[in-house]
Amino acid sequence: MKGSHIQKTLEDKVKRLAKEMFDWEMNKPVLISNRMKRTLGQYVWIINQDTKRPELVRFQFAAKLFRDGYSEEDIELVIKHELIHWYTDTIEGRPCHHNEIWKANCRRFGILDSRLVDLENNKNRQDYKWRYQCTNPKCGVIYNRYRRIPKNYVCGKCRGVLREHPLSSVVRPI
């Protein structure tokens, strides 16, 4: 696939997800960077000098995300992680980074609320195959498991509903 084609596909995907998730139009640049080595995605923002609020400049994604065998789900997870940064900062009117509000929004949109969505640590991960996160916003505890757990299992701490994440799709956005 040619680079320009990948870029266009990615840009369309970012726009579509912004629309689906928040009903927002995303019309800032979406770039693919060869220089991003340790991270897969980035939400670039500035403080608008008039409003004093964070403002989206662009999204950028590592080129390796499109050539190193990442699945569609991996790519979508990275995009959602970055979109939720944009959404949270815009709604809150201040940079939230990976704070509790950002985490609550991740749970709301069904993605892991961890910045350690991490592929490079595959080796340290002891080959867990599944990760479960409690959907109760007050709990949010994460369980790693070698085997898939039955659907009717609930959170051991709060009896909340668990959301399942296959660990093949664990990647590292920032």
Residues that bind Zn ion in the complex, under the rule CB under 5 A: 134, 136, 139, 155, 157-158, 160, 174
Q: Is 10 helix (H, G, I), strand (E, B) or coil?
A: helix
CA 55 and chain centroid, separation: 19
Q: Are 163 and 155 in contact (CB under 8 A)?
A: no
Other beta carbons less than 10 A from residue 156's beta carbon: 11
42 contacts: CB under 8 Å, gap ≥ 6: 33, 36, 59, 60, 61, 82, 173, 174
Stretch (H or E) spanning 75 = helix 72-92
